[in-house]
Amino acid sequence: MDAVEKLIVKDECRALSLSYGRYQDERRYESLPELMTPDATYTRLGEELSIADFITWVGTMPPNKTRHFVTDIDFREVTESSAKGISYYTLYLYGGEDETPYPLEGPFVVGEYHEEFAKTAAGWKIKSRAAHIIFRKPQ
């Protein structure tokens, strides 16, 4: 795999990762599977969920306003069929009734996404995404 091919893979994987956060912020949970392999998993709070179970769980959350800010991915591995990397995320959350601009009290959590990507017949997809909380707003 040459350098240009690696750049293309990284770019496609970055786009998937960013779309994932945007879909969550837009509450487009039904669109998440198009970004993922059929056997994909999402790990949150140490619990690994299938994508279907994650969508069910996230659908039970209150209709908060959220924004996920995600850094570029630090790729640890890129091959012709898989890629792995880590990015940092900051999640802002507002659960009130105000209109924009929402009051800002700082981030709700700051963490890391550990992601694995796989090349499929339909292109690159997220195979697993594990969210690790590093900082959390006191409750």
- Condensed to tens digits (0 to 9), the pLDDT of residues 33-82 reads 999 999 999 999 999 999 999 989 988 888 899 999 999 999 999 999 99
Domain holding 131, by residue range, is 3-136
pLDDT in tens, 97-118: 999 999 998 999 999 999 999 9
Number of domains comprising the chain: 1
pLDDT at 76: 97
CA distance 104 to 95: 11
User: Is the four-CA dihedral 47, 49, 55, 56 of positive or negative sign?
Assistant: negative
Q: Which of 17-21, 47-51, 102-106, 122-126 has the lowest mean pLDDT?
A: 102-106
Which tokens belong to 128?
Answer: 């697993």
pLDDT at 138: 86
Q: How far apart are CA 129 and CA 74, in angstroms?
A: 14
* pTM score of the predicted model: 0.93
pLDDT of residue 58: 87
Query: Which CATH number covers residue 51?
Result: 3.10.450.50
